[in-house]
Structure 1
Amino acid sequence: MNIPSGKRRHAALAIGIAVGLGALWSGLSSSSSSPASVAAAGAQAAHPGATGAAPAPAGRMLPVALNAFAQPRNDAQAKLGGQLLQALQAAEAAAAAPGASAVAAGAVRAGGSAGAAAPSVAVQIAALVQAGVPAKLREDNRVSVHIDLAATPEQIERPGVLARLGEELAGSLQRAGIRAQQIAGSAVLDASVPLDRMEWVAAQALVARVDLKTLPNFAQAAPAPVATQGAAASEVQRLHDLGLNGEGITVAVIDGFDDTDGEVAALQAAGEWPDADRLTLRRDAAGAFGADDSSHGNAVLEIAYDLAPQASFIAYDTSDNNDWAAAVRHAANLDANNVAQGRPRAQVITASLGFENGSIGDGSGRLGFLKGLYDAIRAARANGVVVLNAAGNEALKHWGGASNVDANGFQRWNAAGETYNLLNNGQCFPVAGNYSLSASLFWNDWAGGANAANLTDQDYGLHLYRRGNPNAQGVASWVLVGSVDARQNGGAGQEPVERFNYTPPANQATRECGNRGAVYAVRVSRNTAGANNNLQLFANWGIGRSVPERSLSFPADTADVLTIAALNVGDSALENYSSRGPALAAGGALPGNGADNNPKPNAASFANVDTVSYGPGEFNGTSSATPHVAGLAALVLQRQIELAQGDAQDGQDPPDVQDTAAKRLALANATRDSLQQVGRTGGNDLGAVGHDGSYGYGRVRFHANSDACFTAAAYRDNVIDFLQEQLTAQERQIRVDQNQATCESRQ
């Protein structure tokens, strides 16, 4: 996601919630689309009426005003996410209004009472628009949703039981004509549900909650023929001089790609991507490879190929977390239950993607809709795959801290007691376009875990406000746009999560923003008296009161990935948007001051580099940093394999050092260790001495003694000892110390 940072535009990490990206008109920074085109979108709002709000375009807005205070009228409605509930009630009210058209007079609304007129498809679409449901999540009156299973933590931890529950609910929905499938390994179904069937779906006994689907997004920019400066900044030539070029290694790139106009062939013809004999294109989602028109993955693969020019590559074109998990399983050669089926298809997996919600934040990945992804990554590492993930670009879009409310029960964001946290840094946000405001709130009240008896019963609400037009005294007031407040009362399948994804309709415009937009803020209410939790707030645009610490995206918090932070390629300065550690403590609590058993991030690499797919200096974010390290990981793994094989006798083939998962894991661990050792040495430790939450173990820039770092790691992680030589513990330690001393010597 693009992140504002001074003069640069950051083609950022593709993160969590489905939003429109690009250069927004007037007050908005961060750009990859044409400012003129966005200005035109913002200008769609009409001239203000007496109140300053733009009148509704003909045929788009409902005759009944959106009720920002929508309250559930029954148990089924209480399971609906706030925007879905608002849209449902607005559509029902419109259908019941005098003269309103319905599907059929006297029709029975699905899930409703006899005699209630079903709102027409047009009314349902208008209700979804008015509730701010983004166009990307709508297909006529159908909405892309996540359906949470009403499963206990014990059921979620038992794959067979979880699968049966998911199949039972999916089958019931499919028989009713609703598209639904379980996210493998997670207590969540993906579904496409008509608005007028939403309440019926929520009423099913196996449903805990229905909410808007969360998607990763992929930034785009204009092309220009150039190559990454990150190769020289990494001093990769030192490895190339050792004969390391990635030969024999396969790198999997999981991302979104563009091949709508022959981009893949053009990149191959220009020598920016490998030829067909070393490239596999794969897409599990509907549509052809590259059909989503995202050049993000094109640039990612360019970078990795620049650093490992003799490696083979598999490009996985993904659309959501289900595709992502499937890609990990395929690359790591895992079956549907994450059981290894032999050697992995790829020895290195890199993903410049992430989510702002969907897990706990403590690295466990044991709950949330991303559980299946975490499980696949864990199994991939166990099968000897080096998995890398971008840290995220959330440092300026995150707030985290203890619950601390004012007399009215609203969270205070700072010592001054402010309860409104400005979105988009308080700048005007366009209305009536394709640009969405999204926010996620979660807290450490997850069911089960270390405290097996814990239930999710600490309740908070997330509220979106718009700054209204000035009153007679010239003071602008805050107007509630809508609230999301799911049930957290200990029921099965409930999670401590609130989120919205809101596209402002035309009637949100204010005079303050030239009647083309408005200023928005969020508030958090504590609804359970005395609740004291660690709150985590993420937004998709910069927030006024941000806390960079603990801003890792998901799944960058897990120990099973190498998590990569972003540095400016010109001076190695930490990029201000780069997500910071540490990962949260068990259950999502605030970390203490003790030993960090899951240090994050792991390393840092380069951003603001040139690529053909983005242009000079335009590929930025941790999205850019991560494939640099992925390409380098391929070279280091090649070296670890050489060290393990040793010097083959004349006429004999070198030993097969990857024939078991244990050997592959030892090689992968030594590769991870090597990269972190390089970060610690040769002037690469840029932050606090040792590991820190900004740079990790340091910059991945190779120095003259880097090969000694690799050898020290090979002995330390039992690559040579375990795979080839049979050394005593004392002999191994001597060799570790000797090589480590050389690795650490001043350059």
Structure 2
Amino acid sequence: MRRAWSLLPALFVGDAEAAEPAPAAVITLRLAESADAQATLNAAAALPGVRALAVGAVPGGGGLIDLSASPTRWAELAALPGVVHLGEPWRPNAKAVQSEGLDTLDLTAWDAAGLTGRGVTVAVIDVGFSGWDQAAEELPPSQVSLVYGEAGGDSHGAAVAEVILDVAPEVELRLYRVTSAAEFIEALTLAEQDGVDLVCASLGFDNVWHADGGSPMSLAVDRLHDAGVAYVAAAGNEVGRYAAGALSDADGDGWLTLGGAERVYLNDSGGLASVSLRWDEPFGAAAVDLALHVEDGGVDCDVSDEAQRGAGDPFEAASCVGVSLASARVRQVGGGSAEGLMAWIYSPGGVGGVELATAGTLTLPADARGALSVGALPVGDDTPAAYSSQGPTDDGRLKPELVGPSGVSTLSFGAGGFEGSSAATPHVAGLVALWIDRARRDGPQEITDGLLLRAVDLGEPGPDSVSGHGAARAGDLPPRCGCAASPTRAAAPWTLILALFVRVRRREACALAARSAIV
């Protein structure tokens, strides 16, 4: 995306013969940490033709505000006190019948104890819930409600909700559909105000900020955690979509290589090539000025050239449609030397022509300190999916914490069709809901600690940045003492028989209730 005002030269050269005003567009204001979000919102709303859409305020100042405004107002909005950046909204990406994952979770003792999630409220934040109200047997209307946004055209969130109810069939689900980072933060705030016990989010924001826990989205998750609300996050499915490496300009022509490659090829999707560039400087204080070129057959089709030079963000994003051979190149425009600077190129369709990044490919806010982050483990396998995002975070913390079942069946996605960390995350969220049912005095950290103790280690002994502490398991019942104790022994065979009976009966009861609700 070019700098907003570079697209509108008439606004700055006094073109008295400018044509009809351009139609309103959705833009996002990013605020400084010291900014008062309410004051900035009031000032923006006072401008004619400006309409507030979402306010994602971060406690202590800062955050994101989505506005609808004509381009003729963008310069005024960018100049408001506290605004550090005006641009396109950051859009979330989805981290895309009874789930087969249940058999892997070792719920024997928990089922025998009658844990169902009764009295536990779960917020599901997603990009769409299409069909949720048409699947009453899987998503009973007595337990499920859409409370934020419209259902949208994507059924991804409905599949997430199905899996949670498979694991914890008596929880209450509240659905929040978001389309931007500001809406995501606003939804977290509303979920806390609604009194939810747990948030499950199988979505993420890719390459828009460093994975160091400092993004507005990650800080909002930390706040939720500190308020006593658990947050279960998809780690992402981003291996294969990132190229990473040190920048260099050995020949001095201004075109930079990344990891030794001057050109990164983009695996376009249906003729669309979308790409972003991020490099290792602080957001709001980048001194190296770079431009991102997207080419089709070696000819520019889009250029992103935001100004950095000490006060900008180390980020560029561009896209082209109707491409046949898309690639991305990085050019230095000015500022300090880029030599040796670490950089990341991301494209949702995948990248090629360069060594692919595997480590450090987390989606945001899976990097949040308060998030229980979950990678993808195909059902029946003991190796995480090749695409499953890996840690560590950019500041060296272990992520993900766990991996969960993927490649499972749902009504929304069909037999075995629900893949990725999107499917893994609600399995773990269901475990968290059952834990809360058992031990309400335990906070998010105690629950996380308890689940990590119960995980089945994968690969080399010990925690790692591929599978975290291992595959999610329920194991022995959580203690009621408000502490997370280590599991001790497997359940007896008679307990297994009782557990299977209990699970079948409670699923039948839920289905009967759903049919009654339809009538």
Contact 1:256–1:319 (CA under 8 A) maintained in structure 2? yes
Aligned to 1:732: none
Residue 639 and residue 522 in structure 1: after superposition, are their counterparts in 2 closer, same or farther (change >3 A)?
same
What's the counterpart of residue 564 of structure 1? Answer: 374
Aligned CA RMSD, in angstroms, stands at 2.9
Distance 2:72 2:13 in 1: 9
Per the alignment, residue 234 of structure 1 pairs with 105
2:39 counterpart residue number: 164
1:530 aligns with 2:390: no
1:270-669 map, 5 Å: 270=137, 272-276=138-142, 278-283=143-148, 285=149, 289-290=150-151, 292-333=152-193, 345-365=195-215, 371=216, 373-407=217-251, 408-414=253-259, 417-424=260-267, 430-431=270-271, 436-446=272-282, 455-467=285-297, 478-491=298-311, 494-500=312-318, 502-505=319-322, 517-527=323-333, 528-531=335-338, 532-544=340-352, 545=354, 546-585=356-395, 591=396, 598-641=397-440, 657=441, 666-669=442-445
| Offset at residue 207 of structure 1 (A) | 5.5
C-alpha separation between the residues in 2 aligned to 1:610 and 1:741?
29
1:418-457, Cα deviation, whole Å (9 max, x unpaired): 2111111xxx6544xxxx4222222232168xxxxxx421
In 2, Cα distance between the equivalents of 1:489 and 1:480? 24
Aligned structure 1 segments of 4 or more residues deviating by more than 6 angstroms: 203-206
Q: 1:405: Cα distance to partner?
A: 3.2
In 2, distance between residues paired with 1:114 and 1:363?
Answer: 44
**Residue aligned with 1:618, SS:** strand
- The letter for the 1-side match of 2:453 is Q
Measured after TM superposition, the shift of residue 616 of structure 1 is 1.0
More strand by share: 2
Matched ranges for 1:18-29 at <5 A: none
Structure 1 counterpart of 2:144, which letter?
L
* Larger-gyration structure (1/2): 1
**Residue of structure 2 equivalent to 1:675:** 451
Which amino acid in the other structure matches residue 263 of structure 2? Y
Which residue in 2 is equivalent to 1:26?
none
Change in Cα spacing, 1:282 to 1:361, as seen in structure 2 (3 Å) is: same
What is the CA-CA distance between 1:197 and the residue it aligns to?
A: 5.3
Q: Report the identity percentage.
A: 27
C-alpha deviation, 1:196, in angstroms: 5.5
TM-score (norm 2): 0.84
2:502 alignment partner in structure 1: none
> Structure 1 530/322 Cα, relative in aligned 2: closer, same or farther at 3 Å?
closer
- Shift of the alpha carbon at 1:539? 1.4
Does the CA-based 8 Å contact 1:148-1:189 persist in structure 2?
A: yes
TM-score normalized by structure 1? 0.60
- Within the alignment, does 1:142 sit opposite 2:142 as a pair? no
TM-superposed CA distance for 1:175, in Å, is 2.2
- What does residue range 61-72 of structure 1 map to in structure 2 within 5 Å? none
Give the C-alpha shift of residue 359 in structure 1: 3.0
1:243 and 2:114 correspond: yes
Structure 2: stretches of 5+ with no match in the other structure = 492-519
- Residues 496 and 628 from structure 1, CA distance in 2 versus in 1: closer, same or farther, beyond 3 angstroms? same
* Offset at residue 257 of structure 1 (A): 3.4
Tell me the distance in 2 between the aligned counterparts of 1:317 and 1:486: 30
- Are residues 199 and 158 of structure 1, via their aligned partners in 2, closer, same or farther at CA, if it must alter by over 3 Å? closer
SS in 1 for 2:274: strand
Structure 1, unpaired ranges of 5+: 1-80, 90-108, 125-140, 150-155, 221-225, 334-343, 366-370, 449-454, 468-477, 506-516, 586-590, 592-597, 642-656, 658-665, 721-735
Does residue 177 (structure 1) correspond to residue 78 (structure 2)? The answer is: no
Name the counterpart of 1:113. Answer: 14
